[in-house]
């Protein structure tokens, strides 16, 4: 099922690339990060083209819950402890500025996309102290934050931590308008990138600057992003007859839910798990959400459901900046976690500043080559263990009557996801339909289905 954002939206079709061209900059991926990056580069006087394998906004942008917020779970106390107050301030101000920049663009251009300022909250049914500390940390960085023990949700909470003047909007209505301002080639899949050349089946683009903004970078070396990120899936129900809230909410407890009102519909989210690791059985994730929905809002009606795929980095902060020291003219914007809308704007501003040679003090905290923290080391170990397991399974013969699919990215054994009837890769999160056709990268091709055994 498609998300509610796709209903009634027609983004103007663009022609595929035809032949070769040379431009100052090329962006790979026409989701919100790619389109905003191309827009700001154009504003900086740098002609930029966007190459999109499918259609504008056909990737993860359409699956968001479209919260625009600097409240990224309990990140600020950790940031201050790990990177120091100044770096934490850069992270906070870049994200707060992103909210303001959305508002400015939408007002200046008169974009009708239901943009509205509202508070964002983290809630817990058991915890108070960590939320109280997080509110203090955020305040020390200039964010208008508060802590309390009551909120508008229809169940008791132990603690709730709020940020004022966050925002929500309709992501595809916004994207459709912004895409009108940039040069996009659709149905133009990038096959190879080498030096300044971006090869597609429909021609080559040669560019001084190349930006990878297609969710997960598909180049393995340099950069080694496959070893530094995993992907997670989460699920959303759109409900009628449920509550309507002024604020947006995210539960920080194990199994916590997300609540976000959109006109007369409530988006209830949760049930997240590492992509490729979902053995709960068909209908369990949506089933859990449906159960919770009926418990909290008896008689509510489901009007839509969908799932999202998020890239998560080793330390939880996005990778935005130069792709690798070996490729100084390549840039990357990935690892946005669950904060894709806000981080897309942050990425577009940082990458534009780097390419146009402007001062950008906030770039360091987002840099893909920032120092490795203890948390990142732990993530590296866990991620490595999944990869070794996935590769080892590849070597095992299939069991009786089993279908085996090996991932064309690096060969891990795919796992059947009964919830969504797809084959998912536990190593780096590629996904394929039941016929082995590619749904999500980093794999670039469909996979071959081995013979079924008797």
Residues in binding contact with ligand FES, number by CB under 6 A: 13
Q: Smallest distance, Å, CB 414 to ligand FES?
A: 7
Interface mask (CB under 6 A) for ligand FES, residues 211-230, using x and -?
---------------x----
C-beta of residue 334 within 8 angstroms of C-beta of residue 322: no
Nearer to ligand FES, 96 or 310 (CB): 310
Q: Residue 300, interface with ligand FES (CB under 6 A)? A: no
The answer to whether residue 405 forms part of the interface with ligand FES (CB under 6 A) is: no
Residue 64 binds ligand FES, judged by CB under 6 A: no
431 near ligand FES (CB under 6 A): no
Part of the chain binding ligand FES (CB under 6 A), chosen from 61-69, 140-148, 202-210, 420-428: 420-428
Among 410, 415, 417, 432, binds ligand FES (CB under 6 A): 410
Interface stretch with ligand FES, choices 51-59, 190-198, 364-372, 402-410 (CB under 6 A): 402-410
Q: Tell me if 346 sits within 8 A of 95, measured CB to CB.
A: yes
Least separation in angstroms between residue 405's CB and ligand FES is 10
Cβ proximity to ligand FES, 269 vs 426, nearer residue: 426
> What's the rounded Cα separation, in Å, for the pair 404 and 71?
41
Least CB distance to ligand FES at residue 275 (A)? 9
* Residue 407 binding ligand FES, by CB under 6 A: yes
Q: By CB under 6 A, is residue 160 in contact with ligand FES?
A: no
Residue 409 as a binder of ligand FES (CB under 6 A): the answer is: yes
Nearest distance, CB of residue 441 and ligand FES, angstroms: 8
Name which of 233 and 428 has its Cβ closer to ligand FES: 428
428 binds ligand FES (CB under 6 A): yes
Question: Of 197, 218, 194, which Cα lies nearest the Cα of 207?
Answer: 197
The distance of closest approach from Cβ of residue 197 to ligand FES in the complex, given in angstroms and rounded to an integer, is: 25
Question: Considering the rule CB under 6 A, would residue 425 count as an interface residue with ligand FES?
Answer: yes
145 binds ligand FES (CB under 6 A): no
Q: Considering only 11-19, 72-80, 247-255, 405-413, which stretch makes contact with ligand FES by CB under 6 A?
A: 405-413
355 binds ligand FES (CB under 6 A): no
Provide the 10 A C-beta neighbour count for residue 19.
7
Decide: is 334 part of the binding site for ligand FES (CB under 6 A): no
Q: Does 442 bind ligand FES (CB under 6 A)?
A: yes
Q: Which is nearer to ligand FES, 287 or 411 (CB)?
A: 411
The answer to whether residues 235 and 310 touch, using CB atoms and an 8 Å cutoff, is no
Residue from the set 378, 430, 448, 451 that interacts with ligand FES by CB under 6 A: 430
| Site residues, ligand FES (CB under 6 A) | 226, 407, 409-412, 425, 427-430, 442-443
């Amino acid at each position: 099922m498609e998300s509610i954002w796709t209903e009634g939206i027609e983004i103007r079709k663009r022609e595929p690339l035809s032949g070769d061209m040379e431009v100052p900059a090329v962006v790979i991926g026409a989701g919100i990060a790619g389109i905003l990056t191309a827009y700001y580069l154009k504003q900086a006087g740098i002609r930029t083209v966007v190459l999109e394998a499918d259609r504008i906004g056909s990737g993860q942008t359409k699956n968001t819950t479209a919260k625009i917020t600097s409240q990224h779970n309990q990140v600020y106390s950790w940031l201050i402890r790990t990177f120091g107050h100044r770096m934490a301030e850069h992270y906070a101000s870049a994200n707060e500025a992103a909210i303001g920049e959305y508002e400015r663009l939408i007002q200046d251009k008169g974009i009708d996309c239901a943009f509205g300022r509202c508070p964002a909250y983290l809630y817990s049914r058991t915890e108070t102290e960590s939320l109280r500390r997080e509110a203090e940390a955020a305040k020390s960085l200039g964010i208008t934050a508060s802590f309390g023990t009551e909120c508008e949700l229809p169940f008791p909470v132990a603690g709730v931590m709020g940020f004022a003047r966050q925002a929500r909007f309709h992501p595809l209505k916004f994207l459709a308008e912004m895409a009108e301002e940039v040069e996009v080639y659709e149905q133009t899949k990038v096959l190879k990138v080498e030096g300044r050349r971006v090869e597609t089946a429909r021609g080559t683009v040669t560019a001084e600057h190349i930006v990878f903004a297609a969710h997960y970078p598909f180049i393995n070396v340099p950069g080694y992003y496959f070893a530094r990120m995993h992907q997670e899936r989460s699920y959303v129900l759109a409900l009628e007859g449920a509550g309507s809230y002024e604020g947006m909410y995210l539960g920080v407890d194990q199994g916590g839910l997300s609540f976000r009102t959109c006109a007369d519909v409530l988006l209830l989210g949760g049930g997240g798990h590492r992509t490729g690791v979902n053995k709960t059985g068909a209908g369990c994730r949506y089933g859990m959400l449906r159960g919770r929905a009926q418990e909290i809002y008896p008689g509510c009606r489901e009007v839509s459901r969908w799932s999202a795929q998020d890239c998560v980095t080793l330390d939880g902060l996005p990778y935005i900046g130069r792709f690798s020291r070996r490729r100084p003219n390549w840039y990357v914007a990935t690892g946005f976690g669950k904060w894709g809308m806000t981080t897309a704007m942050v990425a577009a501003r940082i990458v534009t500043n780097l390419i146009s040679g402007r001062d950008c003090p906030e770039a360091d905290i987002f840099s893909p080559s920032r120092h490795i923290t203890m948390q990142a080391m732990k993530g590296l170990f866990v991620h490595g263990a999944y990869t070794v397991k996935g590769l080892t399974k590849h070597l095992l013969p299939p069991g009786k009557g089993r279908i085996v699919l090996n991932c064309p990215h690096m060969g891990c054994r795919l796992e059947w996801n009964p919830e969504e009837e797809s084959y998912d890769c536990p190593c780096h999160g590629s996904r394929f339909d039941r016929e082995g056709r590619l749904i999500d990268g980093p794999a670039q091709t469909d996979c071959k289905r081995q013979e079924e055994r008797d």
